[in-house]
Structure 1
Amino acid sequence: PGFHLLGSVDISRLLRTKRDVPVDRIMETDRHIVLATADQEEVARQFERYGLMAAPVVDKNERLVGVVTVDDVVEVIEQEADEDAKLLAGVGDERLSDSVRQIAPPRFSWLSVNLFTAILASAVISLFDATIESMVALAVLMPIVASMGGNAGTQTMTVTVRALATKELNPANIVRVVLRETAVGLINGLAFALIMALIAVAWFGTEQLGLVIGAAMVVNLLAAALAGIFIPLVLDRMGFDPAVASTVFVTTVTDVVGFFSFLGLATLWLR
C-alpha cells in the first residue's frame, strides 16, 4: 500500500510457475535498486558491474517510481562516450545541426588557451636561438621530439580519463597504474631514442646529434607518460572535468619539455 519495493519476478519464471503459487514464493528480493536522483552514468556502471538487464527505480522514501532497462543504459553509454570524445577534442556538446554562431565562440575560447600555451613553447625555443642558428639540423629535428611526446601523452591521457570516468582508477590501483605508465614511457623512449639516433646520424652525419636527440626522446616520452596520468588525476581531484582541460595541459608539458630538453642538451654537447 505504501508503494514500497518488495521484490521482482522474471517473466520467464512467472510463465513457468503454476497459477496457485503465491508471488512471494517466486519473487527475488535481492535486486539492485536505482535511486531516481542518481546520475545516469553511475546507473550505467551498475548495469555493467552486476550484469543487470533491468533495475527498479525508487525515490528517497524507497517507493517504486519506475524501471530502467538495459536498452536505456545502452543509450546512456553512447551519449557519455560521445560527450567524452568531444570534450577531449575541446569542441563541447556540438551537433551537426548547430549553426556557425553556436560553434565558433566555444572553439575560439579553447583555441585561445592553446595559443597561449603555443606562445609558451615558442618562448622556450627563443632561449636557444643562438644554438639553432649555429646548427640548422636542430630546427629540422626538434618538431619530431615534440610531436612524439604529444602523441605519447595523448595515449596515456586518454586511458586515464576513461578510467576516471568509469571509476576503474581508484586509490587501490593508482600506484600500479602510475608505475606501469612510467615503465611504458621509458621503454618506448629508449626504443625511439635508438631509432632517431640512427636516423640523425645517417641524415646529418654527426654522432653527437644522434646522442642529443636520443636523450631528448627518452626525457620527453617519460615526461609525456607522467603528464598524461598526473594532469587528469590532479584536475579530477580539484573538481574539474579532466576530459575538458587535460589535452591542453598535456600538450603544453610535452612541447615545453621536448624543446627544452632537446635544445638544452644540444647547447651543452654541441657547442
Structure 2
Amino acid sequence: MQDVENRTTPPSPSGAVVEPLNFRDEKEEINPAFMAAVAEAIHAPDTERLQQLVEDFHESDLGDLLEALEPDDRPRLIELLGPAFDFAALTEVDDAVREEILEELETQTVVEGVRELDHDDAVYILEDLNEEDKAEILDQLPAVERVALQRALEYPEGSAGRRMQTELIAVPPFWTVGQTIDFMRDTEELPDTFYEIFVIDPGGHLLGAVPLDRLLRSKRPITIQGIMNNDPDRVKATDAQDDAARLFQRYNLVSAAVTDEAGRLVGVMMVDDIVDVLDEEADADIKQLGGVNSEEELSDTVWDIMKSRSTWLFVNLCTALLSASVISAFSASLQKMVALAVLMPIVASMGGNAGTQTMTVAVRALATRELGRSNAWRIIRREMVVGLLNGIAFATLMAGVAIFWFGSANLGPVIGLAIIITLVSAAFGGIIIPLILNRFRVDPAVSSGPLVTTITDVVGFFSFLGIATLWFGL
C-alpha cells in the first residue's frame, strides 16, 4: 500500500502543475493545505481529483479525514467516491460522526458499503442505528448475509459475539492435510486473514484447531485429526468482550474460536478486534476516572457534553460542602491563627494527590484482574507503608518550611503529623474504596474519584485543624 503520510498528490485533471501535498505534516497533524484541496474537490465537484487525493488511503487515515471535514462535506465525499470509498473508515470515527453520516447517506449506498465489510465491522456500524434504520438496511441485504448479521446483533452489547468474524475455514477431522490445502487453493471466497483451520463434527461442534504453520509443515497424507490441537483456545459468544481481551492478553493469542452455548463454532475473534477492545476499555477507564461519561466524544455537541459532565460536578459540589462543613467547625481556630488557613490547603492537596495515585493503580489492577481477593490485603498493606514513608518524608520537609515561613516552632509538628495521617488515610482509601465498590458490582472507575477525594479532604482538614486546636489550645 502506498504511504499516505509522505506521498504527494498527482497532477490535476486539467493538467495544471499541483504543489506536492502530504496528508500529514512533520508533526503528524493533518495538513491544512491538503484539507483545503479535498474541500475544493468536493465543492467543485471534481470526482477524479478527489479520487486522486485519497487514493489508497488506509481506513484509519480516511476516518481521520472524515472527522476533519465539515459535517456537510462528509456524506458528499462518500457519495462522490462511490465504490472507491472504504466503508471500514466509518469504524474509525467517533460514534456521533458516524451516526450523522449514516443519516445523510442514501440507504442503498449504506447497503452496498456494508456488504463489502468484514462481518464484525458491519455489526459495529449497524448496532448503533435505531431499529427502523437498521431494519431498512438489513431488509435489502441478501438472505445469507442478513441472517448472519441479525444473529450477531442478537448477542448482548459488548459481547464476543458482537466482535467476532463469521468468515473462517472449518473442515472435518477425517480430511487429510492435502485435501485441506487443495480446498483452500480452489476456494475463491476465503477470509482475507486467518491463522488457523478449525475442525468440526457434522453438527458444527468445535473439535479442535490446526495452526497454519503446523498444517504447512505436515505431510499431505496425514489426517487433520492427527495434527489438530484437541483443546483449542475458545470464547463463548455471550462472554464479555473484555474477558475475551484478557484471554488474548494472557496467552498471547492471535485468534480464538467463538462458540455458542452448545459448543458449536459460530465465529472467530482476531487480534485486531482485541486491540480495539483494549483501546476502548482503557479510554473508558480514563474518562470515568475523571468523572466524564465513557461515551463522550470530541464530536459531541455542547448540550450533550454539559449533560454528561453535570452529574459528577453535582456530586463533587455535595462532597465539597461536606469538606466545607469540617472547616466551618474550626472557624474559631482559623480566626485566631491565620497561618492555619494558609497551610490548610497544602495538607488537603497532598492527600488528594496521594489518594488519586493509589486509586488509579487500584482501578486499573481491578480492570485487568491483577487485584483480587488473593492479594488484596497484601496490596493494602503495601500501599499504607508507602503512604507512611511518603508521609514521614514530606512531613519533615513541610515542617521545616512552616517553621521558616511563620517563625513558629510549634507549627512544624502540627503540619507534620497532619501530613502523615492524611497520606496514610489517602493510601488506605485509594485502594479500599475501589475494592468495596467492585465487591458490590459498582464500576470503581466511575465512583471512586469523588469518594476518595472526599475522604482525603475531610481527613486532611480535620486532622490538621484538630491537631492545631489541641496543640495551641485554640
Give the structure-2-normalised TM-score: 0.56
Q: Does residue 120 of structure 1 match 2:287?
A: no
> Which runs of 5 or more structure 1 residues have no equivalent in the other structure?
none
Q: Does residue 202 of structure 1 match 2:404?
A: yes
State the SS of the aligned residue for 2:324: helix
Other-structure match for 2:348:
146
2:444 aligned residue (242, 247, 252): 242
Other-structure match for 1:16:
217
Deviations 1:75-119 (A, max 9, x none): 100000000100111111200111011110121111011001101
Larger-Rg structure: 2
Distance in 2 (alpha carbons) for counterparts of 1:111 and 1:134: 33
Q: Does residue 75 of structure 1 match 2:276?
A: yes
Q: Does residue 5 of structure 1 match 2:206?
A: yes
1:60 aligned residue (261, 277, 293): 261
Other-structure match for 1:110:
312
Counting only pairs closer than 5 Å after superposition, residues 246-261 of structure 1 correspond to structure 2 as 246-261=448-463
Q: Give the aligned CA root-mean-square deviation in angstroms.
A: 0.9
Distance in 2 (alpha carbons) for counterparts of 1:127 and 1:27: 73
What's the offset of the Cα at 1:177? 0.5
How many equivalent pairs are there?
271
Deviations 1:132-189 (A, max 9, x none): 1111111111100000000000011011111111111111111101110110111111
> Which runs of 5 or more structure 2 residues have no equivalent in the other structure?
1-201
Distance in 2 (alpha carbons) for counterparts of 1:45 and 1:25: 30
Q: Does residue 163 of structure 1 match 2:377?
A: no
Other-structure match for 1:88:
289
Distance in 2 (alpha carbons) for counterparts of 1:106 and 1:238: 24
State the SS of the aligned residue for 1:68: strand
Q: Does residue 231 of structure 1 match 2:418?
A: no
For the 8 Å contact 2:296–2:308, the answer to whether it is kept is no
Q: Does residue 184 of structure 1 match 2:395?
A: no
Q: Does residue 262 of structure 1 match 2:464?
A: yes
Question: Greater shift after overlay, 101-110 or 212-221?
Answer: 101-110
Other-structure match for 1:211:
413
State the SS of the aligned residue for 2:229: coil
Q: Percent identity?
A: 58
Comparing both structures, which one devotes a greater share of its residues to helix? 1
Distance in 1 (alpha carbons) for counterparts of 2:435 and 2:449: 13
For the 8 Å contact 2:208–2:230, the answer to whether it is kept is yes
Deviations 1:43-82 (A, max 9, x none): 0111111221211000001000011111111110000000
Query: Which of 1 and 2 has higher RCO (CA within 8 Å, sep 6+)?
Result: 1
What's the offset of the Cα at 1:267? 0.5
